[in-house]
């Protein structure tokens, strides 16, 4: 240490003192001595000024340089931050690997774009798009579709259209993302949907006919156009399990339980056996109509098939736990699902949400809902149902409002449930607002919607409006007739209610157990 200090002081004095012969000899001696040693391979690190260090620590993990030669470890770090929606940290690592010249794979970029969709971070999405260009992946069809979805989800159709500028790919999936974005944004974008579709066809982009028709069936069911959905289905000669599933799901979601069971029988007679998705849809229907014998047949089929049976068993048992208010058993099933990595299965999560709400543990339902990365109409409906089940009706309305702002628009089932909530709160103003949305989407032809609408006006004391809605229904079945009887009962018009009950029987409509319940309460 002392020698080192002396050498530094010698060097310092040599540079400051005037030139003399001794200086030249010392310099020449140093050159000779230096030539006898091999030059160092790495330059000596300069000592950084502590005042120049950043005040805040870097978001890049300190362990990252240690595995810079292992890209998979880096990808894992980025994807972990992306799943947690920590885009700042993920982008810091992405900037580091870009400076180091380490390539990034498409899967990592996909997870980052998904985080941008969830957080609606358009600026971060554009930055990630720039990194995709840097990595030479801009023409990757998989990422092209993800970019289009990200831009449309963040409200920038213009950026999504630029993704396709000069595109020569005939891949339908990326174009579908652009079409979907225009549809989701709604407003005045419907003409853009048609123009994009025409451009897609002009470039000879192939269409997936089966997917298109399945989507059309789902669209008709959501709009309450049951006969149109059946007509499309009957026009398709080669029906696969996906197509049959779309029909069964449509009937089940519109509470047409007998039709759902009939189509399941028809499917099996055609030689197509139900998979786990179809069984998941049909089991609650079997329970609702008390078809014990059919349920036993399905149970035997599941035991014999053995494949997807664990998940199916969970989905079957959870409604039973909900009905029995068996919280402890439900929590055990929840733990079993987590242990067997059945998450994030939206069907299992929504069943758990309903179970917890019926058992009075609303906090768990809310946590499960907030933890869902990919929500669908069923999960939104389950959250509304969970709040309503626990009597938190104003909170249920709040979820309904949030759903309206999301990419998932309320369907006929949600509308019917909201009318029921308005009935309990006597919220006629909100009921009229939803009535306008029903007329706009042509949901008034759905029996459950028209029935709940009639009951809502009756519960709010507007019996004349309830009569107008009832008279406007073209096909008046047992559900709507029971609703108008109940509406008269709400307003103490008991004789008129009984008269409507007799008229219902006279017109040849058999009363169901709901009808008898209403009439007996009036009596």
* 260 neighbors 252 (Cβ within 8 angstroms): yes
Q: Which residues contact 40 (CB under 8 A, 6 or more apart)?
A: none
Residue 190 inside a domain? The answer is: no
Give me 510's structure tokens. Answer: 């058999």
pLDDT for 109:
92
Determine the Cα–Cα distance for residues 33 and 21; give it in Å rounded to an integer: 18
Determine the Cα–Cα distance for residues 268 and 279; give it in Å rounded to an integer: 12
In 340-376, which residue ranges form alpha helices assigned H by DSSP? 346-358, 362-370
Per the structure, the complete domain to which residue 508 belongs is given by 443-522
Give me 356's structure tokens. Answer: 């917890």
Q: What is the pLDDT along the chain (523 residues), one digit of tens a residue?
A: 444 434 433 333 333 334 444 334 434 434 444 444 444 443 444 444 444 433 333 444 544 554 455 677 888 889 889 988 899 999 988 888 888 888 888 889 989 998 998 888 899 999 999 889 888 888 787 788 788 778 877 877 777 777 765 454 555 555 565 555 555 544 444 455 555 556 555 555 555 576 667 777 877 787 777 888 888 888 787 788 888 988 998 898 888 888 998 998 898 888 888 877 787 778 778 877 787 788 777 777 766 665 475 677 677 678 878 888 889 989 998 998 888 777 777 888 998 999 999 999 999 999 999 988 778 888 999 999 999 999 999 999 999 999 998 888 888 889 999 999 999 999 999 999 999 999 988 888 888 899 999 999 999 999 999 999 999 998 888 899 999 999 999 999 999 999 999 999 998 888 888 899 999 999 9
The one-character DSSP state at 442 is T
pLDDT for 181:
55
Q: Which of 147, 217, 209 is nearest to 175 (CA)?
A: 147
Q: Which residues contact 13 (CB under 8 A, 6 or more apart)?
A: none
Number of domains in the chain: 1
Residue 467 inside a domain? The answer is: yes
Residue 200 inside a domain? The answer is: no
The one-character DSSP state at 18 is P
Q: H/E element holding 444?
A: none
HSE-CB for 337 with a 13 A CA cutoff: 26
* 201 neighbors 420 (Cβ within 8 angstroms): no
Residue 135 inside a domain? The answer is: no
How many Cβ atoms sit within 10 Å of the Cβ of residue 247?
Answer: 24
Q: What are phi and psi of 510, to 5 degrees?
A: -75, 125
Terminal alpha carbon distance of the chain: 106
pLDDT for 388:
94
Residue 110 inside a domain? The answer is: no
Give me 383's structure tokens. Answer: 């959250």
pLDDT for 294:
80
Give me 503's structure tokens. Answer: 């008229």
pLDDT for 183:
52
Residue 485 inside a domain? The answer is: yes
Residue 36 inside a domain? The answer is: no
HSE-CB for 462 with a 13 A CA cutoff: 18
Q: Which residues contact 33 (CB under 8 A, 6 or more apart)?
A: none
pLDDT for 30:
42
Residue 509 inside a domain? The answer is: yes
pLDDT for 295:
77
pLDDT for 142:
78
Residue written as tokens 């089991």? 283
């Amino acid at each position: 240490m002392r020698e080192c200090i002396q050498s530094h002081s010698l060097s310092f004095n040599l540079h400051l003192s005037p030139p003399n012969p001794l200086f030249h000899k010392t310099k020449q001696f140093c050159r000779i001595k230096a030539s006898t040693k091999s030059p160092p391979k790495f330059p000596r690190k300069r000592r950084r000024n502590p005042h120049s260090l950043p005040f805040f620590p870097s978001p890049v993990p300190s362990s990252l340089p240690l595995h810079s030669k292992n890209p998979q470890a880096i990808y894992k770090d980025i994807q972990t931050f992306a799943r947690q929606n920590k885009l700042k940290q993920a982008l810091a690592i992405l900037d580091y690997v870009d400076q180091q010249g380490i390539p990034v794979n498409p899967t990592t970029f996909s997870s980052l774009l998904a985080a941008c969709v969830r957080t609606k971070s358009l600026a971060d999405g554009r930055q990630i798009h720039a990194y995709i260009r840097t990595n030479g992946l801009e023409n990757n069809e998989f990422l092209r579709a993800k970019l289009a979805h990200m831009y449309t989800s963040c409200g920038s159709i213009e950026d999504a259209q630029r993704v396709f500028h000069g595109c020569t790919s005939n891949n339908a999936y990326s174009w579908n993302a652009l079409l979907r974005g225009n549809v989701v944004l709604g407003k005045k974008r419907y003409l853009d949907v048609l123009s994009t579709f025409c451009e897609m066809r002009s470039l000879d982009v192939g269409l997936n006919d089966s997917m298109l028709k399945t989507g059309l069936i789902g669209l008709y069911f959501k709009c309450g156009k049951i006969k149109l959905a059946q007509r499309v289905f009957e026009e398709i000669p080669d029906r696969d399990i996906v197509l049959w599933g779309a029909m069964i799901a449509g009937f089940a979601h519109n509470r047409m339980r007998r039709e759902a069971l009939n189509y399941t029988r028809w499917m099996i007679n055609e030689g197509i056996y139900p998979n786990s998705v179809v069984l998941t849809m049909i089991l609650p229907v079997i329970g609702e109509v008390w078809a014990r014998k059919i349920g036993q047949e399905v149970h035997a089929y599941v035991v014999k098939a053995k494949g997807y049976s664990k998940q199916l068993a969970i989905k079957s048992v959870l409604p039973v736990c909900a009905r029995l208010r068996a919280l402890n058993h439900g929590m055990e099933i929840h733990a079993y699902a987590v242990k067997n990595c059945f998450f994030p299965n939206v069907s299992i999560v929504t069943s758990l949400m309903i179970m917890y709400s019926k058992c009075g543990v609303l906090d768990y339902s809310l946590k499960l809902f907030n933890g869902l990365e990919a929500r669908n109409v069923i999960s939104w409906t389950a959250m509304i149902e969970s709040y309503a089940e626990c009597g938190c009706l104003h909170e249920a309305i709040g979820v309904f409002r949030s759903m309206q702002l999301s990419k998932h628009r309320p369907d006929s089932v949600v509308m019917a449930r909201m009318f029921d909530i308005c009935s309990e709160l006597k919220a006629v103003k909100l009921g009229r607002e939803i009535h306008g949305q029903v007329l706009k989407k042509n949901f008034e032809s759905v029996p459950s919607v028209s029935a709940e609408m009639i009951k809502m006006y009756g519960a709010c004391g507007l019996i004349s409006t309830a009569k107008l809605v009832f008279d406007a229904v073209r096909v008046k079945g047992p559900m709507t007739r029971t609703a108008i009887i109940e509406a008269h009962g709400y307003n103490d018009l008991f004789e008129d209610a009984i008269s409507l009950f007799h008229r219902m029987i006279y017109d040849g409509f058999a009363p169901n157990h709901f009808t008898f319940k209403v009439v007996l309460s009036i009596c």
